Chains A and B, each alone.
Chain A
Amino acid sequence: MPDISAKPVRTIGSLLTARRGGKGRLHWTDVFTYFYLAFGIFLMFGPVVWLVLSSFKTSSALLEFPPTFLPLGQIEVQVEGYEKPLPLYEVKQEDGTVTQLAQIRRIGIVSQMVDPQNPGETIQVPIDQRSEVREFRMAWDNYRDPLERFDFTRYLYNSVVVTAIATLVTLLINSMAAFGLAIYEFRGRNAIMLFVIGTLMIPITVILVPVYLVVTSMGMINSLWAVILPGAATPTGVFLLRQYMLTIPKELIEAARMDKASEWRIYWKVVLPLTMPAIAVLAIFSIMWRWNEFLWPLIVLNRSEVYTLQVGLNAFQGELDVQWHYILAMTVVTLIPVTLVFAFLQRFITTGIASTGMK
C-alpha cells in the first residue's frame, strides 16, 4: 500500500500533470479526476470559507444584496469643526466627475455633505447619487459582543467542562473494562462481550424517554452530569482498546505479577502506558463526539446557564433570527476546536476511522 500522500507536492505543474499510471497521454479520466477534485475543494471548503468571511461583516453589510465577497467597512474621516468622524461617500456630480464627500446628516432622501478639504460649505446631495467608500475591515464586534453581552462565555465553559470530564471518564472506565476483557480468561467473558456488542445496537434515540427518567431520578436534570454520564461507556471504545491490549505479551504481565504488583498497578503502570496510541485515538474521538453532541443536551438542559455551545447556538438562532452577525461569529467559534484537532491529528483521525469504522 504505497502512500502517495507522503510525497511532497513539488510544483503546481506536477500536480496538474499527474497521469493515469504515471506516464503516457492525458486520458479523459485524468481530466475528470482533477475537475472532480477542484469541484470537491470548492464544495467542501467553500461554505466554510464563506461562513468565516461573513462572520467578519457588520450587520448592515450582511443585509446587502448581492453580498460582497470580503468584509468591507465604510471609511470615516475626521473633518475640522465636527466632533465625530464622518462617513465618506463618493458623489457623482452633474458634469460626470466623481468627488469624495463626508456626510453630516441625512434628511429624508437628501444628504447634507461636506468636502473634507473645504469644511466650511455644506452641500445638498440626493441619496441615490452617493455611494459608500469602503475598505477591507473586520468587524471584531461580532465576536466581542456575544462573548461579553450574552451567555456565550458560559456556553463555551460548559462545553469545555462536559468535553473534558466526559472524555476522562470514558477513557478511565473503557480502558478498565478493556483490560478486564483482554488480560483475563474467566467464565462469563464471552457473555460480557456479547452484552457489550448488544449495547452497540442501541442508540440513544431509541431510549430517550427512559434515560430521561433515570437522569431525573438521580436529580441531574439541568446539571452537566446529565450530559456527561449517559454516554460515558461506549462499546466502540471498549472494543478498540481491547483489540490493542490483546497484542501486549502475556509474559510482561506475568513478570509484573512475580514482582508482586497488584492487578491495579499492572493495569495502570504496565498496560495503560503501552496502550497509549489507542487511548489517544479514543480521546480524539471522544472529544469530537462530546463537543458536537446536540439532541441529548437539548433534552436534559433546559436552563440557559447550563447550555452547551451547540444548544446555546441553536437557541440563539431561534430567538434572534435577524442577528446573523452574532450567529455567524459564534458558529465560527464552535467550529474552531474540531478544526484545530483535525489540522494537527488528521492522519490519526482518518486511519482511526478507516480501521475501526467509528465516528
Chain B
Amino acid sequence: MLRKKTFTGGVHPPEFKSEGEKKKVETCPAPKTAIIPVSQHIGAPAQPVVERGDTVKIGDVVAKAGGFVSAPVHATISGKVKKIEKRPHPLGQNVLSVIIENDQADEWNPDIQFDEQYEKQSTAEMIQRISAAGLAGMGGATFPTHVKVKPPDNKKIDTVILNGAECEPFLTADHRLMLEEPERVLKGLQLIMRILGAQTGLIGIENNKPDAVRVMKAKVNELGLPYKVTSLPVKYPQGAEKQLIKALKNRKVPAGGLPMDVGCVVQNVGTAAAVYDAIAYKKPLIERIVSVAGPAIKEPKNLLVRIGTPFAEVLECCGGPTEEMGKLIMGGPMMGLAQYTLDAPVIKGTSGLIAMKETQSFRPPETVCISCAHCVDVCPMGLVPKALGQFVKHERYNDAKSYHILDCIECGSCSYVCPAHINLVHLVKFGKLKVIEQQKKAG
C-alpha cells in the first residue's frame, strides 16, 4: 500500500529560498584574525595544545578532544597564535578561543593529501580519521560524528539516512552542496555505511528542491550505487531526525530513545561530504557552507567560510547588512539563535546567518491563550504545548514532566502558529532545564 511519506503535525512557514537557492557557492576570503572556540560541539570542550606565539598551518590541531564525546578543533588559517582567551561565542557565552593572526601565506598542513588507499582502510582507521578531523553534525546540532558512527555493540544499524531536507526557511547551503558536489556527498554516505555495516542508504530531500533530487538521483545512477533518493513533502520540521526516519522508513524512534534504537543513523548531507574529506584527504573540518540571507542582507549568498571567521566579515562579503538590520540569527529562523554581537565567529554548526529587519525583530505582545489548539495540532511529537506552557508558567514542573516535556524537540512549531503570540517553545525549553535540574537533585 502506498504510504504517504510524512509525519503528523508540522507547519508550513514561508520558504524564502528563491534568491539563495540560485546562488552558486562562493568562497568567503579567509579572515584576518580567526577566532577558534574550543567548544563547537555537544560534549566536553577541547583542550588547547598551542601556546601564544606558536606558528600554525591550516589543519593543525589547536585543541585536542576533551573526552570521548568531544572533538578536536583545528587552525583554519596559517599564521601566529596571538592569544588564547575568552571571546563571544554564537551560543551566547564567552568561550575560550584560540585567536590566530593570518600571515596570508595560506599554508596547509602537509599531511592533508589525497590517500589513494582510503577505501581500503579498516573501520577503526576510518573512525579514527573522522575523530581526528573534528567532525560534528553540520546541520546545526553539532553532535560529534565519530560517536554517531560507533554505536554500542548491541545496536545493529541497517539504515543510514542522509538528511537533505533543509526544512528551515532561508537556508540553502545543503541545497547548493547537493547540486554542486553530489559526488562528495554520496561517497561520504558510502563510507558511513561501510563503517556501520549498513545495507540501506536513503537520501531525503524536500520536494521544493526538485533540481537537487534530480542531480542526486542522476549521480546515484552514474556511480551505480544502490541508494534511494526520496522527494519528501515540504513541511517543517521534516529535517528533524525522528520525523525524517518516520517519513522515509516508517519507523518510530521510541520516546526518549535515539535513532540507533530503530537501526538508523541520520547524517546531514554536509556532514557526509565532510566525512569523505576526512577519510580520503585526512582533511579536518576547517570550512563549511553558510547561507547568508534574510531581508536585511544586501546580497544573499551561499559562502564557503573558514571556521573562526567573525560574522561581521561574513556579512561584509555579502555587501554587509542594511541599515535596517535589527536581528542576526545563526541557523534558520525557526530554531536559530539570535546573536548579540557580530564579533562571534562561524563555528562547525553555523548553517546560516539570517539578518532580519528591525521591524521584524520583536515578537508581538503576548495575549491570553484562547485554547485554539493550533499548537496541539502542529506538534510533531504529539505533545500539548498549551498545557506545558501553562505548567511552566505556574512552576508545576512535575505536571510538565508527566505531560512529557522532555520529549519536546524544540522545533518551535507551536510558537510559530500561536495566535496569542505566546512563545511556547521558550517556556518549554526553560521547563526542560528545570525538570532535569529536579531529576538531578532527586538523584
A-B interaction: no
Which residue numbers of B lie inside 8 Å of A, CB to CB? none
